[in-house]
């Protein structure tokens, strides 16, 4: 239960004076539904105004507060704006322009009456104008400096300022959870004062740092509580005897790194508390094989294993490769996705319940309520970054005794992110690629050269090669992406024959996608045109050419993932990044980095650094934004301290019962880590 103290903050915005359904609706567009959302709606900048007696004392672009006297009106017709001509104290003319509501404008600025107006000075031909100035009442002076907030239609900055102020008024004083020495060392004020300052222009940077720290601290504390709670859980140890793994016939040796992480994982599984481990490894480092060996370890010990994939394509592909390996050694593998229905589904459910299925792969369907396992001992989650913390927790509660959990992530994760997103987990890292891999050669090509690129593609497939052609995510809409990919596929089919070019996109039915993927994997298709659905996991070693259209529209992590689809065999692979004509600074930096390095960890660090809000498409995949206040830089700077501080607190007061412990509980509620509070020792 959320403490009484915080109730005013968690009330709906309509609880604030002056907020009715209309304003509440508008605020909702900015995801501001509760008082606390407004309180944390921090300004993104400042505006400065200057007070001037006349416009000649100001410069174009400045925001002026100036007294004027209207002397003429030209009323707008149709689309034309209404212009009111006014004169300032020096007898200079200024045009006040209004795009609608001519009647209203005339009323606000009657001819011959002095008014004080505020607005941005524009040059309009030879003249000076202000578009939609604010008209001030007598005696009201706006502040010379004021915060600027992210806004939405129907809520102007002034209004937002008032709303935020009303929210801040409701913010209670809270007991202190920050270590005294840390407060002092950073010059931080208490929470409530810091919140107010963060909206002001007095020490706002220091105040913002404190708020960011609070958020990161709550995050770290929550993760450590999960870790602590997990240590207290008991489960069945799974120690395989190697009889299945030894029978695997692999065409290659495990790398030293693979062997090491397998040792770490099986070491965990042999304990009587559930494993909670993250497996990191760059694209192509061979995580799938580690997963297989881990699952066989569970099966050897008499348990079932389940593997969760983020997409159906990937689940099917895992099924194929697992089957190839497992059937030969008498291990039964099945798949369960939304597509297995009726009789098929029934028989899978039966096999899981009676234990005749050893390994199940699938999408989320494998954890639905109805799915009962005889003895689920291990869950492997592939491509971990797509699943959130709460989901991970839930997953581990599914079996009768908690299963061991291995999470795998394809994108290398910068250290600070590992700390803040996976702080509750142990980490294993595959830091070496299988031998013989050649670095992928990456070229950035202007889209003006698309014809040349298509010619090159023709030579590539004529020589027996296969290639991917990835079309950009145009908008946050599958429909539009699909259309772009369809157009591209049309063009390539016309050129290379429709039996040589396949297409997959998010809008297609599962079966259709599978058919196309299978034909590509077995070499019937030479070119696979795709949207980002193929981003993760797909493994076709003979495909050695990757063309990414609109490359500037992708984020670094995504580009790295996509490029990782090639370079999987021993022959030289290439990646062509087709870019548009105009590039933003960051996009340019991203492409340059891609050309320069194949090192996933370096790319991940840079990604974090370069990422500007709204810069990267495919945000719908990053639903795991852990922080609302803390910026990437703040996370990097403050997370290590927050972690050790949270750790220290828990060592001293594991139940968070003391004075600081109680305060820390409040921080968990404040940042909505309520679930973590439930994990405290003794409830």
Residues that bind ligand ADP (CB under 6 A): 252-255, 258, 281, 283-289, 410, 434, 539, 541, 568
Identify what 304 binds: Mg ion, ligand ADP, none; CB under 5 to 8 Å per kind: none
Could you tell which of ligand ADP, Mg ion, none binds residue 289, using a CB distance below 5 to 8 A set by kind?
Answer: ligand ADP
Rounded to an integer, what distance in angstroms lies between the CA atom of residue 268 and that of residue 257?
17
Query: Torsion over CA of 611, 612, 614 and 619, rounded to 10 degrees?
Result: 20
List the single partner that 504 binds among ligand ADP, Mg ion, none, CB under 5 to 8 Å by kind: none
- Smallest gap, in angstroms, from Cβ of residue 538 to ligand ADP? 9
Which residue of the chain is nearest ligand ADP when measured via CB?
Answer: 286
Q: How far is CA 58 from the centre of its chain?
A: 43
Which tokens belong to 70?
Answer: 């209207």
For the bound state, the minimum distance from the C-beta of residue 279 to Mg ion, rounded and expressed in Å, comes to 10
Beta carbon nearer to ligand ADP, 131 or 248: 248
- Which single residue is written with the structure tokens 């001992």? 377
- The partner in contact with residue 470, picked from ligand ADP, Mg ion, none with C-beta cut-offs of 5 to 8 angstroms by kind, is none
As a whole number of angstroms, the distance between CA 535 and CA 556 comes to 12
Q: Which of Mg ion, ligand ADP, none binds 281 (CB below 5-8 Å, type-dependent)?
A: ligand ADP
Nearer to Mg ion, 488 or 565 (CB): 565
Shortest Cβ distance from residue 582 to ligand ADP (Å)? 33
Largest CA distance in the chain: 98
Q: Per the structure block, which two tokens stand in for 375?
A: 């003895």
By beta-carbon proximity to ligand ADP, the closer residue of 292 and 501 is: 292
Task: Give the nearest distance from C-beta 286 to Mg ion in angstroms.
Answer: 9
Report yes or no: 591 and 583 within 8 Å, Cβ to Cβ: yes
Tell me which stretch binds Mg ion (CB under 5 A): 14-22, 185-193, 211-219, 531-539.
531-539
Spatial distance between the Cα atoms of 128 and 115, rounded to a whole number of angstroms: 17
Interacting span for Mg ion (CB under 5 A) from 94-102, 209-217, 512-520, 529-537: 529-537
Closest separation between CB of residue 528 and Mg ion, Å? 17
How far apart are alpha carbons 642 and 635 in whole angstroms? 9
- Shortest separation between residue 305's beta carbon and ligand ADP, angstroms: 17
Eight-class DSSP state of 12: B
Stretch of 148-156, 241-249, 458-466, 532-540 contacting Mg ion, by CB under 5 A? 532-540
Name the binder of 502 from ligand ADP, Mg ion, none, CB < 5-8 A by kind: none
Q: Shortest Cβ distance from residue 562 to ligand ADP (Å)?
A: 12
- Which ranges constitute the DSSP H helices of 253-334? 256-269, 287-300, 312-327
CB of 253 to ligand ADP, least distance (A): 6
Give how many residues touch Mg ion by CB under 5 A: 1
> Is the Cβ of residue 399 or residue 434 nearer to ligand ADP in the bound state?
434
284 forms part of the interface with Mg ion (CB under 5 A)? no
Which residue lies nearer to ligand ADP by CB, 81 or 281?
A: 281
Residue 484 is encoded by which pair of tokens? 């772009």
Contact 211, 194 (CB under 8 A): yes
**Cα–Cα distance, 555 to 681 (Å, whole number):** 41
Nearest residue to Mg ion, by Cβ distance, number only: 537
Q: What is the Cα–Cα distance from 529 to 537, expressed in whole angstroms? A: 16
Do residues 357 and 333 make contact, with C-beta atoms less than 8 angstroms apart?
yes
Residue 639 interacts with which of Mg ion, ligand ADP, none, CB < 5 to 8 Å by class: none
Least distance CB 254 / ligand ADP (angstroms) = 5
Partner from ligand ADP, Mg ion, none binding residue 252, C-beta < 5-8 Å depending on class: ligand ADP
Distances (CA, A) of 287 to 249, 431, 550: 17, 11, 29
List the helix and strand counts (H, then E) for the chain. 23, 21
Among candidate residues 415, 348, 402, 337, the one with its CA nearest the CA of residue 375: 402
State in angstroms the smallest separation of the CB of 395 from ligand ADP: 20
Residue 502 or residue 537: which is nearer to Mg ion going by CB? 537
Of 13 and 363, CB closest to Mg ion: 363
Report what 23 binds from ligand ADP, Mg ion, none; CB cut-off 5-8 Å by kind. Answer: none
Of the candidates 241, 273, 275, 245, the one whose C-alpha atom is nearest the C-alpha of residue 258 is 245
> How many residues are given for the chain?
683
Alpha-carbon distance of 390 to 413, in angstroms, equals: 19
State the nearest-atom distance from the C-beta of 312 to ligand ADP, in Å. 17
State the Cα torsion 655-660-665-671 to the nearest 10°.
-140
Indicate the residue among 373 and 468 with the shorter CB distance to ligand ADP: 468
| Residue 78, phi-psi category: left (phi > 0), alpha (psi -120 to 50), beta (remainder) | left
Task: Pick one of Mg ion, ligand ADP, none as the site partner of residue 351 (Cβ within 5 to 8 A by kind).
Answer: none
Residue among 102 and 537 whose Cβ is closer to Mg ion: 537
Toward Mg ion, which CB reaches closer, 351 or 537? 537
Dihedral angle sign, alpha carbons of residues 629, 631, 636, 637: negative
Per the CB < 8 A criterion, the answer to whether 159 and 166 are in contact is no
Quick one: 276 or 283, whose CB is closer to ligand ADP?
283
For 457, the enclosing helix (H) or strand (E) is: helix 450-462
Residue number with CB closer to Mg ion (314 or 473): 314
Alpha carbon distance, N-terminus to C-terminus of the chain? 12
C-beta closer to ligand ADP: residue 285 or 643: 285
- Cβ distance to ligand ADP smaller for residue 286 or 555: 286
Number of CB atoms found within 10 A of residue 64's CB: 23
Classify burial at 55, counting beta carbons within 10 Å of its beta carbon; exposed 0-12, middle 13-18, buried 19 or more.
buried
Query: Least distance to ligand ADP from the beta carbon of 283, Å?
Result: 4
Which of ligand ADP, Mg ion, none does residue 280 bind (CB under 5 to 8 Å by kind)?
none
* Shortest CB 281 distance to Mg ion, Å: 9
Report in angstroms how near the CB of residue 539 gets to ligand ADP at its nearest.
4
Site string for Mg ion, 533-552 (x = CB under 5 A): ----x---------------
Q: Could you count the other beta carbons within 10 Å of the beta carbon of residue 204?
A: 18
Q: Which residue ranges make up the site for Mg ion (CB under 5 A)?
A: 537
């Amino acid at each position: 239960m959320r403490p009484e103290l915080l109730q005013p903050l968690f009330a709906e915005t309509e609880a604030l004076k002056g907020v009715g359904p209309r304003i509440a609706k508008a605020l909702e567009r900015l995801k501001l539904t509760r008082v606390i959302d407004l309180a944390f709606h921090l300004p993104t900048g400042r505006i400065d105004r200057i007070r001037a007696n006349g416009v000649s004392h100001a410069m174009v672009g400045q925001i002026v507060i100036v007294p004027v006297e209207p002397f003429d009106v030209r009323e707008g017709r149709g689309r034309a704006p209404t212009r009111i001509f006014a004169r300032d104290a020096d007898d200079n003319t200024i045009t006040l322009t209004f795009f609608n509501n001519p009647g209203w404008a005339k009323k606000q600025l009657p001819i011959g009456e002095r008014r004080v107006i505020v607005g941005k000075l524009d040059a309009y031909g030879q003249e000076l104008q202000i578009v939609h100035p604010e008209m001030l009442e007598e005696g009201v002076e706006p502040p010379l400096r004021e915060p600027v907030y992210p806004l939405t239609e129907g809520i102007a900055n002034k209004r937002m300022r008032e709303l935020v102020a009303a929210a801040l008024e409701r913010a209670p004083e809270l007991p202190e959870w920050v270590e005294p020495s840390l407060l002092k060392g950073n010059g931080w004020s208490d929470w409530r004062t810091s919140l107010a300052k963060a909206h002001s222009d007095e020490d706002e940077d220091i105040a913002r740092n404190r708020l960011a720290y609070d958020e990161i601290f709550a995050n770290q504390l929550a993760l450590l509580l999960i870790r602590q709670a997990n240590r207290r859980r008991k489960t069945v140890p799974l120690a395989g005897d190697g009889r299945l793994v030894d029978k695997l016939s692999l065409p290659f040796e495990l790398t030293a790194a693979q062997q090491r992480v397998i040792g770490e994982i099986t070491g965990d599984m042999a304990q009587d508390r559930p494993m909670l481990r993250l497996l990191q490894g760059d694209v192509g480092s061979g995580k799938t094989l580690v997963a297989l060996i881990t699952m066989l370890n569970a099966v050897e010990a008499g348990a079932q294993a389940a593997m969760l994939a983020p997409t159906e394509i990937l689940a099917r592909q895992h099924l194929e490769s697992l089957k190839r390996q497992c059937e030969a050694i008498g291990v039964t593998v099945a798949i369960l996705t939304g597509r297995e229905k009726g009789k098929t589904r029934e028989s899978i459910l039966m096999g899981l319940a009676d234990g005749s299925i050893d390994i199940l792969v699938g999408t989320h369907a494998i954890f639905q309520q109805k799915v009962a396992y005889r003895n689920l001992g291990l869950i492997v989650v592939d491509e971990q970054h797509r699943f959130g913390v709460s989901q991970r927790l839930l997953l581990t509660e599914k079996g009768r005794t908690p299963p061991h959990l291995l999470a795998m992530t394809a994108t290398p994760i910068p250290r600070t992110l590992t700390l803040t997103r996976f702080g509750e987990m142990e980490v294993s890292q595959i830091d070496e690629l299988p031998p013989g891999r050649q670095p992928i050669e990456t070229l950035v090509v202007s889209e003006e050269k698309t014809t040349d690129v298509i010619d090159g593609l023709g030579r590539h497939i004529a020589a027996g090669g296969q290639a991917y052609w990835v079309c950009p995510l145009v908008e946050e809409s599958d429909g539009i992406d699909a259309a772009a990919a369809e157009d591209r596929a049309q063009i390539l089919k016309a050129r290379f024959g429709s039996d040589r070019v396949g297409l997959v996109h998010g809008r297609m039915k599962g079966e259709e996608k599978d058919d196309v993927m299978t034909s590509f994997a077995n070499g019937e298709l030479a070119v696979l045109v795709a949207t980002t659905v193929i981003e993760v996991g797909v493994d076709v070693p003979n495909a050695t050419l990757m063309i990414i259209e609109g490359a500037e529209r992708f984020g670094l992590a995504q580009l790295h993932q996509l490029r990782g689809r090639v370079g999987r065999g021993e022959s030289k692979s290439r990646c062509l990044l087709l870019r548009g004509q105009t590039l933003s600074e960051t996009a340019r930096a991203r492409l340059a980095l891609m050309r320069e390095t194949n090192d996933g960890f370096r790319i991940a660090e840079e990604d974090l650094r370069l990422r500007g809000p709204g810069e990267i498409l495919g945000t719908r995949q990053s639903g795991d934004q852990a922080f609302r206040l803390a910026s990437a830089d703040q996370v990097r700077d403050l997370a290590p301290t927050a972690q050790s501080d949270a750790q220290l607190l828990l060592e001293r007061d594991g139940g968070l019962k003391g004075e600081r412990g109680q305060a820390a509980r409040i921080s968990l509620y404040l940042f909505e880590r309520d679930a973590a509070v439930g994990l405290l020792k003794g409830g």
